[in-house]
Structure 1
Amino acid sequence: MGKNLNEAMKMLEDGQKSAEDERETKNTKERHTRPLQGSGQNMVSILQLVQTLMNEDEEEESQAFRRIQNVGEQGHMALLGHSLAAYISVLDKDRLRKLTTRILSDTTLWLCRLFRYENGSAYYHEDDREGLLKVCRLVIHSRYEDYTTEGFNVLYKKQPVIYMSAASRPELGQYLCNQLGLPLSCLCRVPCNTMFGSQHQMDVASLDRILKEDIKLGKSPLLLVANAGTPAAGHTDKLARLKELCDENNMWLHVEGVNLAMLALGHVSSSVLAATKCDSMTLTLGPWLGLPAVPAVTLYRHEDPALSLAAGLTTSQPVEKLRALPLWLSLQYLGHSGIVERIKHASQLSQRLLENLKDLPSIKTSVEHDGNSPVVVFKFFYEGSGSDSTVNLSTIERESDAMNQWLGEQLAALIPSCGVDIVELEDEGLCVRFNPMMTSAVLGTATQDIDQLVECVKVKIPIIQNTLQLKEEFRLEVERVAGLSYVVDYSWAGLGVLRYEHISEEVDLGKREAELEKINALLLKKLNELESDLCFSSGIDYMSLCRN
C-alpha cells in the first residue's frame, strides 16, 4: 500500500510530460466530460485525469506553483495515514477496537506532554472550528441539566452568552451560533484595549463590566474564546487574568492561536504559558509542522465522560478514532526533537526578520511586547518633514494603504518562499505580515530567504519614497498640458493617473469615447517609447496612464 501511494504521488507531482503523455492527457480530458465508462479505467488514466484537473487553468497553476506545499517524507507519512486508516477500518471489531484505542491514547498523551497540558483529553477534527463547537455543546450540557430532555426551552429561560474578542477570527461567532441553533444575541464581542497595553488584546476591564451587566439581566455567561496569537497581528490576551475572571463567573475558557505552538519550546513566556491552565485549546499542527491533511486537535479537561459523549467530543465508534492515525504516524516520524526543531526554526526566522527590519528607515514594525509571538507585522511610513512643500502629509497618510499593498504584493511575488501576505489592522491600516509558524514548514523557508526579503525591502523603500515626494510635481506637470486631466486615485500606488479628454463636444458620444480611447492608447505607447526611466500602463476602469 505504501509503495502504491508513493507511486501515485510521484505521478501527480511529476510536472514533466512526454509528447505521448500529453496526447494521453488530452484523451483523458475528453473522457472526463463523457458518461461513466462501463468497463472502467485503469489507475494510470485516472491519476492523469486528476493531474489534468489540477493544472487546468494555466494562470491558477502558475500562482499555485509559487505557493505549493513542500511535501517531504513527513508529508508522505501523513498521507499514508489516510490510506492506512481505510485499510484498518475493515479489520474485525475486536482488533479494530484495540488498535484504535492504542492510537488515540498514544497521540493524546504525546500532545498533552508536548504542549504542557496535563490530564487532558483530545478531540480530532477536520474543520479547525469544530473542536470549539463541540466544547460549546459540552458546556451547555454541563450548565443546563435538563438540556437533553427540554432542549431550547431551558436556554430560553436563562439565555447563554458566548464571549469572544473583537480581534478573533471573522465569522467564528456566527458559525457557532448557527451550528448551536442560538440567536446572534447570544454572542458578545468584547472590545480590545484602547488606552493601555496592546491594541489587539481583549480589554479585561470591559469584559468584567459586561459580565456583571449580563448577570444582572439574568443571562448565563457560558464560554469565553481568548487568543494566544490573534489572527491578524499575533498578540496574546491576558490569559492569566481572564482565567481568574472565568473562575469567578463559572465560565469556560477556550484558547486558540498560533502562539500556542511556543508551548513546545524549552522557554515559554508567562503570557503564553498561562494557556496551559485553560479549560480547552485548539492546536493546528498541520501548518505548524508541514503535515498535509492532518486533523486539528482540541485538548480539553472534563471529568464526566457521559457529557463528553453527549457533546460529541468522544465516540464509541472505532472508525472515527482513526482520525488520529495520520498524526500518530507523523509524530513518531518527526520525534520530539523534530517537532521542537520545526517550531523553533519558525520562531528564529521571525526574530531574524524583526532584528533586520528595526534598522531600516521608514519601516515600522508591530510585534507583541514580550517578543514571544512568531508573527511579524510591518509597514512603510513616510518620514518627511512638515516643512517639505512638495509633500502633502495628509494625502500621504491616505495613500499609505496603497503603498503597503504594493510593497506586500512585490515581496510575495519576488520572495514566494517567505509566504508574506497583506493584513489590515484597525489602527495601522494595511500592513505586510510574516507568519512563519503557518508557512515556513509548508514552504521550506530558510534563513537566506529572510535575508533576501530584507534586501528586497531595502530596494523598495527608495522607490516608495521618491514616488511620494514627486506626486505633487507630477500633478502640476499634468495640469500644465492642455487637454490632459489629473485623476485622483488614492488606491493606486504609482506616481499618478492622467487622461486625455479634449475632444470636441460636436462629435457623437459613442465616437467620442472611441476616439478618446484611441488617443490615450497612442499616448501610452509614445510615452513608453520616449521615457525609459518610467513605466506607464493602462488603467483598468478607464483609459489612463500611470507611473509605477
Structure 2
Amino acid sequence: HLVHDLIHEDEEDNPSQQMQNVGEQGHMALLGHSLAAYISVLDRERLRKLTTRILSDTTLWLCKLFRYENGSAYFHEDDRDGLVRVCRLVINARYEEYASEGYAVLSAKQPVIYQSASCRPGLGQHLCNQLGLPLSSLCRVPCNTIFGSQHQMDVALLDKLIKEDTEAGKVPLLLIANAGTPGAGHTDKLGRLKDLCDQYNMWLHVEGVNLATLALGQVTSAVMAATRCDSMTLAPGQWLGLPAVTAVTLYRHEDPALSLAAGLTSSQPVEKLRALPLWLSLQYLGHDGIVQTISSLVKHDSPVVLFKFSQETSLCKQLAHLVPISGVDVVELEDEGICLRFSPLLTAAILGTQQKDIEELVEKLTELVPIMSSTMCLRQDFREETYRHSPWLRYIEDFCWPGLGAVRFEPRAEGMDEYRRKQELEKMNAELLKKLQDLDTDIIFSTGPEAGTEDGCIFVGMVTEDVDVSDLVDTIAALGRDIEESGRLLENMTEVVRKGILEAELQLQKANEEKLMEEGMLRQLPLVGSVLNWFSPVQSSIKGRTFNLAAACCTQITTRRNLKCKPKQSSGLRRINYCGSDRVFCHFNVLLELFNLVMSLKHHRTKRLALR
C-alpha cells in the first residue's frame, strides 16, 4: 500500500502521465527480474552453470535474429555503456602499452573518435568523460548538404578528416554511424563507411532504430550493411515492449583477454543474470512472435515518419498533445526546424498504441488543420490591430504560442515608480483576463505557457476564419480601459472622502469652540450642565453641515459603448458581447472611513453635523 500510494500520489497534479503498457511478454520480463534475484542465492557452482547457459543462449538467439554471425554480447542498463566498453576495447587493441602505462601512452598519439553530426546529442561528450579523453579527441563529421540525404554522414569529408588527423600524428580510433538517426530516422552509407574503416584500421560501431528491421524477412541493402560492422547496440526491450530489459551490444573480437580488460565480459555470475529477463521474453515470444511484432510496426522502408505543418513551427507542438498514446513527439532538425515524428518502434509497444489510436490522430489532424490555417492567416491582422490601439495595448512576440497571439494592456503610469507600475500592470491584466474568459465565445484566453513568458500577458487561442479580428481587439482594449477607469474612479472617490473627513473634523472643532463661547464653561460639565440646561434651556445659533458623497463623485462616472465581435453565420464561433452601464463603485476603505467619521461625531455628542 505504501508503494502504491507513492506511485499514484502525483496523479491529481499530472493526470496525463502515461505508464508503460505491460502485456504478457512484459510480465514475463518482470518475472525474469524476480527469478534473477532468487537464482543469485544458489550455490556458486550451480549458479555458474545456469548463468553461462542463459548468457550463451541469449547471445546465440540475438546474433541469429539480427543476422550478426559469430558475435559476442554485452548486456547493459545504460544504452551508452556498451559503446564506452567497446571504445576501451579498441584502445587496448591499438595501444599495446596501455595496460601497463595507462593514459600516458595516449599523449604521444592522441586517439580520435568520429561521429555523425546527426548522432544523438551528448553521446560524444559522454564517451570522452567516461574514457578520460579531452573533447579535442572528438571529431564531428558533417552530413551531406548537396548530394544525398541531409541527415547522412558525408563520406568524402570523413575521408579528408581522417587523412588530416593521420598526418598530424593522431590515431583514428572509432567511427559511430547511424542506422536510423535519432531525429529523422535516416541510415548512413554503412557499406562505404565500412570500407573506409577497413582502409584506416578503424572500428565501426552502428546504432539506431532501423537495426530492428534486421529481424524481418526482407531488409533494405542500406540496413543490411550493418551486419558487417564491428559492433552494434540494440534496444530489444524498447522495440518489443519489454519493461526494464537491458540494451545489448553485439561485437566481434578474437581476444577474450582484451574483452575482459574492457569490461565487456565478466567472471561474476551475478552480472550474467542481466540477460535472464530477455532470455525468458525471447522464449515466450519465439522467433515468429518477434518478427510479427516488429513487422506490424514497420510498414515502409523506414520505421520513422516525419511531417510538419507548413512553415510555421510554433503550431506543431499543439499536435503532439492531441493523442498522447499515439507516441507522436516533437523533434528539431537543423535543416527543417521543428517537426512531428511518429516512430512506432520506439513508442508503440511501450504505450500500447493500436490502429484505432492512429485513426483518432488522423481525425484530430483533419479537424485541427483548417483552424490552424485560419489562425496563421489572421495572426498578422491581429498584430496590426493591436498596434492600432497603442499605447493601451502592446503586442507580445512569442514564437512558441500556437494561437492567434499575445497582448498586454498597459495602463497610464503617471507618478508611479517601477515596482508599483509592475504590480498595477499584473493586477489589471489579471482582471482583464477574467473578464475575457467570462465572454460568450469559443475563443480561449489564457496566461499562456508556464515558462518563458512575460508577466501580465494575455494569450489568445486559435480562431476560425470568420472571426472579426478588429472587433476582437476593440473588445480587449475597451475592457482594459474600462478596468483602468474604474480603478481611477475608486482612487478619486477615496480622495474626496478623505478631504471631506478632514473638513468635517475642522468644522467639528470650530463648532465645539463656538459652543463653548456661547454656552459657557459650566454647561460643559456633565452634572452641572444637565441641571442648568433643565432650569434654563439654551437656543443654539450654530448651523449643521452636510457632506454629499454622491455629488462629489458623480462627475467621475462615464458612459461606455457596446462592443461586439460579429462572426459570420458559417462559423461555430459564438458572438462576443460586452455591454457597459453606468454604475457607482463602492470601496471598502470608503465605507471604513465613513464609519470612523460617524463614530467620531457620536463621541462628541453632537447632532449639528449631518452626513448623507
TM-score (norm 1): 0.80
1:546 positional shift: 2.1
Alignment-derived partner of residue 314 in structure 1: 265
CA deviation digits over 1:35-60, x for unaligned, max 9?
xxxxxxxxxxxxx2111222222356
Give the residue type in structure 2 aligned to 1:407.
L
Alignment-derived partner of residue 3 in structure 2: 50
Alignment-derived partner of residue 393 in structure 1: none
Q: Could you say if the C-alpha distance between residues 88 and 481 of structure 1 is closer, same or farther in structure 2, counting changes exceeding 3 Å?
A: same
1:531 positional shift: 4.7
1:494 positional shift: 1.5
Task: Name the stretch that deviates more: 418-427 or 312-321.
Answer: 312-321
Alignment-derived partner of residue 497 in structure 1: 406
**Structure 1 segment 222-233 matched on structure 2, within 5 A:** 222-233=173-184
Alignment-derived partner of residue 180 in structure 1: 131
1:527 equivalenced with 2:457 (yes/no) = no
- Secondary structure at 1:326's aligned position in 2? helix
1:545 to 433, 454, 458: 458
Alignment-derived partner of residue 239 in structure 1: 190
Q: Could you say if the C-alpha distance between residues 84 and 484 of structure 1 is closer, same or farther in structure 2, counting changes exceeding 3 Å?
A: same
Q: How many pairs does the alignment contain?
A: 456
The answer (yes or no) to whether the contact 1:120–1:301 under 8 Å persists in 2 is yes
Q: Could you say if the C-alpha distance between residues 71 and 344 of structure 1 is closer, same or farther in structure 2, counting changes exceeding 3 Å?
A: same
CA deviation digits over 1:137-186, x for unaligned, max 9?
11111111111111112211211111111111111111111111111111
The 1-side partners of 2:279 and 2:442 are apart by 58
- Secondary structure at 1:490's aligned position in 2? coil
Q: Could you say if the C-alpha distance between residues 243 and 523 of structure 1 is closer, same or farther in structure 2, counting changes exceeding 3 Å?
A: same
Alignment-derived partner of residue 369 in structure 1: none
The answer (yes or no) to whether the contact 1:173–1:187 under 8 Å persists in 2 is yes
The answer (yes or no) to whether the contact 1:503–1:516 under 8 Å persists in 2 is no
Alignment-derived partner of residue 24 in structure 1: none
The 2-side partners of 1:443 and 1:236 are apart by 25
Alignment-derived partner of residue 236 in structure 2: 285
1:152 to 103, 124, 127: 103
CA deviation digits over 1:301-348, x for unaligned, max 9?
111111111111111222211111111101001111111111111113
Alignment-derived partner of residue 378 in structure 1: 307
Alignment-derived partner of residue 401 in structure 1: 313
The 1-side partners of 2:304 and 2:380 are apart by 36
The 2-side partners of 1:180 and 1:515 are apart by 56
Q: Could you say if the C-alpha distance between residues 505 and 86 of structure 1 is closer, same or farther in structure 2, counting changes exceeding 3 Å?
A: same
Alignment-derived partner of residue 27 in structure 2: 76
Give the residue type in structure 2 aligned to 1:402.
S
- Secondary structure at 2:340's aligned position in 1? strand
Task: Name the stretch that deviates more: 132-141 or 490-499.
Answer: 490-499
2:74 to 123, 127, 136: 123
Alignment-derived partner of residue 263 in structure 1: 214
- Secondary structure at 1:62's aligned position in 2? coil
The answer (yes or no) to whether the contact 1:55–1:61 under 8 Å persists in 2 is no
Give the residue type in structure 2 aligned to 1:74.
Q
1:454 positional shift: 1.1
CA deviation digits over 1:261-289, x for unaligned, max 9?
00000110000000001000000111100
The 1-side partners of 2:348 and 2:42 are apart by 38
Alignment-derived partner of residue 226 in structure 2: 275
Q: Could you say if the C-alpha distance between residues 530 and 99 of structure 1 is closer, same or farther in structure 2, counting changes exceeding 3 Å?
A: closer
* Greater C-alpha Rg: 2
CA deviation digits over 1:423-474, x for unaligned, max 9?
1101111111111101111111111211111111111111111111111222
1:401 positional shift: 2.2
1:520 positional shift: 2.4
Give the residue type in structure 1 aligned to 2:430.
A
1:139 equivalenced with 2:139 (yes/no) = no
Q: Which runs of 5+ in 2 are unaligned?
A: 462-612
**Structure 1 segment 288-307 matched on structure 2, within 5 A:** 288-307=239-258
Q: Could you say if the C-alpha distance between residues 88 and 530 of structure 1 is closer, same or farther in structure 2, counting changes exceeding 3 Å?
A: closer
- Secondary structure at 2:176's aligned position in 1? strand
The answer (yes or no) to whether the contact 1:283–1:296 under 8 Å persists in 2 is yes
Higher relative contact order (CA 8 A, sep 6+): 1
The answer (yes or no) to whether the contact 1:227–1:256 under 8 Å persists in 2 is yes
CA deviation digits over 1:60-114, x for unaligned, max 9?
65232xx210112211111111111111112222211111111111111100010
1:518 equivalenced with 2:427 (yes/no) = yes
CA deviation digits over 1:223-281, x for unaligned, max 9?
10100011111110000000000000000000000000000001100000000010000
The 2-side partners of 1:222 and 1:186 are apart by 10
CA deviation digits over 1:170-203, x for unaligned, max 9?
1111111111111111111111111111111111
1:508 positional shift: 5.1
1:218 equivalenced with 2:201 (yes/no) = no
Give the residue type in structure 1 aligned to 2:267.
S
1:103 equivalenced with 2:16 (yes/no) = no
CA-based RMSD of the aligned residues comes to 1.6
The 1-side partners of 2:89 and 2:245 are apart by 24
Alignment-derived partner of residue 377 in structure 2: 469
Q: Could you say if the C-alpha distance between residues 255 and 504 of structure 1 is closer, same or farther in structure 2, counting changes exceeding 3 Å?
A: closer
1:510 positional shift: 4.3
The 2-side partners of 1:330 and 1:251 are apart by 35
Alignment-derived partner of residue 62 in structure 1: 15
- Secondary structure at 1:315's aligned position in 2? coil
- Secondary structure at 2:205's aligned position in 1? strand
- Secondary structure at 2:298's aligned position in 1? helix
Q: Which runs of 5+ in 1 are unaligned?
A: 1-47, 352-371, 382-396
- Secondary structure at 1:58's aligned position in 2? coil
Alignment-derived partner of residue 9 in structure 1: none
The answer (yes or no) to whether the contact 1:286–1:295 under 8 Å persists in 2 is yes
1:196 to 147, 170, 178: 147
The 1-side partners of 2:59 and 2:182 are apart by 26
- Secondary structure at 2:407's aligned position in 1? strand
TM-score (norm 2): 0.72
